[in-house]
Amino acid sequence: MTTPPHLDQLTAEQLRQLAAQLLADAAEKEQTIAQQGQTIAQQGHQLKHHQLLNDKLTQELAILKRHRFGKRSEGLNSHQASLLDELVDADIAAIEATLSEAAESADTPSAPAKRQPKRVPLPPTLPRTIITHEPDNTECTCGCQLQRIGEDISEKLDYTPGTFTVERHVRGKWVCKHCERLTQVPVPAQIIDKGLPTSGLLAHLLIAKYADHLPLYRQERIFARAGLGIARSTLAEWVGRCGVALQPLADALREALLKQPVLHADETPVPMLSPGKKKAHRAYIWAYCSPATAALHAVVYDFAENRAGANARTFLDGWQGKLVCDDYSGYKAGFQRGITEIGCMAHARRKFYELHTANKSQIAEQALTLIQQLYEIERGGKALSAEARQRLRKQRSKPLLDSLHQWLMTHRQKVPNGSATARAIDYSLKRWQALIHYCEDGAVPIDNNQVENQIRPWALGRSNWLFAGSLRSGQRAAAIMSLIQSARLNGHDPYAYLSNVLQRLPTQKNNAIDELLPHHWKPDAV
């Protein structure tokens, strides 16, 4: 064993080297301690976040279960109560799935799994497709040949448009007699582990509910006519689980949309009847989409409990582009934060159209004729590039807009204040700068009709599903309908898109989630 020399035996140079080494060691240890402290602080922050999330979701879950399984409100008829129950069941499933994911990410023990109800066998009359899962290699690592000793069979209910079928999955069991090692192909990852539905059936369920506006109680009857006794609460659970799984994709679609320099925005009321309340109040769906001429074809819906302008500011936070919208004051605050206001010529035209319809006003007819000429120019430039369209507008639209403005100013002096004609003219004059902004950029549309077309499915569906049952159910509907409508905008069959996405999503890497967005998805990936 070698003993270190005494300090008085070292030379000055050796002492300097030793001091430098000790200082370096001390600095390294200090850095390590600082990194460990930072790691502990981050873990503490994550733990606190998970705890707050767990407390919030647990409280929300208790409220929903109290409504679902407690005394029913006497203020609701059976039809309304039925619709609300299915929304609550979906919310409960979504919260339980979120709590499970949070527990896994935090490496904390999750709540014990709830007892699954006994599954009713699928009708033997349904056509069956046998899908075998066997190992690629039947030779054991020890060199012996594996022997098949049995199999596990599971059945899943599938749906292709118009037909229910059964997928029978057969997983062979192979064993090595020498080392007694069992080999079996693992079950492919799915949105609902060990569940009955395939991705095709889940896609059908979502399309029927959110695109065709069929409430789950109607779908339950359709299933029953096919001999499938699937409870509405089970269907609602599937919807809730799918909503949680598809939310990251909807978030990625929102991020992609907010990279666009030009956006449309509009909002429409949606009745909302929360659990425990007897009366519905007015909630809102906000819609944001890219122009029809943009390279990206996408629409994103945002559900909010009110029409406050803060909802638009939150959604567009950090975005500074050109926003095509109506005259609603909720957007005004954004125009002071770097967003450029683009007026809607269709709204200006609508004021004169209503005036002409009411009393055959000649002034309104003249205004409609002038505005019609602007739209004829737009139709002629529809196929042009943005640069060519801007030149066309500068040459033809700009002089026409100058004439229209002068015409409005002249006639405004001839009509009395407060009259219907004055109000129609004032609408255009007060927003004139916003109305003519489109001439400065060929990528900017003349009106807001694009987003009004995308918000129409919500207006059509209100008569069927009557109301949103909670903030969570409204947000889930907004996310799923964003994906469905964006798939349509990109020319995809929504069923084919969702079926493939739900099949690939469980194994899709987080850094490759964009591949499943509607504008990137390819049908040949099926």
Cα(223)–Cα(164) distance, integer angstroms: 9
Mean pLDDT by 10 residues, the chain (526 residues): 60 75 81 80 70 66 58 50 60 68 59 58 84 84 81 85 88 87 87 89 93 88 88 89 94 97 93 67 91 96 91 93 91 89 95 89 92 95 94 95 95 91 94 95 95 86 61 89 96 95 92 95 69
Strand bridging mode 322-324 / 340-342: parallel
Nearest to 174 by CA among 144, 198, 215: 144
Express the helix, strand and coil content of the chain in percent, nearest 5 each: 55, 15, 30
Assign 291 to helix, strand or coil: coil
| pLDDT recorded at residue 95 | 66
Query: How is residue 492 written in tokens?
Result: 């995809």
Residue type, position 256, single letter: A
Which residues lie closer than 8 Å to 104 by C-beta, 6 or more apart? Answer: 110
Total count of residues recorded for the chain: 526
Beta bridge partners, 268, equal 285
Q: What are residue 324's DSSP bridge partners?
A: 264, 342
- The closest of 473, 474, 493 to 483, measured between CA atoms, is 493
In which element (H, E) is residue 151 found? strand 147-160
Looking at residue 226, its pLDDT comes to 85
Strands 182-183 and 299-304, sheet pairing: unpaired
Cβ atoms of 444 and 194 closer than 8 Å: no
Chain center to CA of 153? 35
3-state secondary structure of 254: helix
* Residues 206, 235 contacting (CB under 8 angstroms): no
The C-alpha atoms of residue 494 and residue 305 are separated, in whole angstroms, by: 28
Determine how many CB atoms are found less than 10 A away from the CB of residue 402: 11
Interior/surface letters 463-472, b for 16+ CB within 10 angstroms, e for the rest = eebbbbbbbb
8 Å CB contact between 237 and 86: no
Read off the DSSP letter of residue 169.
E
Distances (CA, A) of 19 to 10, 15, 25, 28, 34: 12, 6, 10, 14, 22
pLDDT for 483 equals 97
This prediction's pTM:
0.78
Q: Where are the beta strands (DSSP E) in 46-90?
A: none
Provide the pLDDT for residue 204. 94
- Which residues are 171's β-sheet partners? 133, 152
What does the pLDDT read at residue 526?
44
Q: What is the pLDDT of residue 1?
A: 47
374 exposure class (CB count in 10 Å sphere: 0-12, 13-18, 19+): buried
* Rounded Cα–Cα distance for residues 525 and 377 (Å): 41
Distance CA 270, CA 279 (A): 13
Strand partners, 265: 288
- Sequence ranges of the domains in the chain: 262-457
- Report which secondary-structure segment, H or E, holds 286: strand 281-289
pLDDT at 437: 94
Q: What is the pLDDT of residue 94?
A: 67
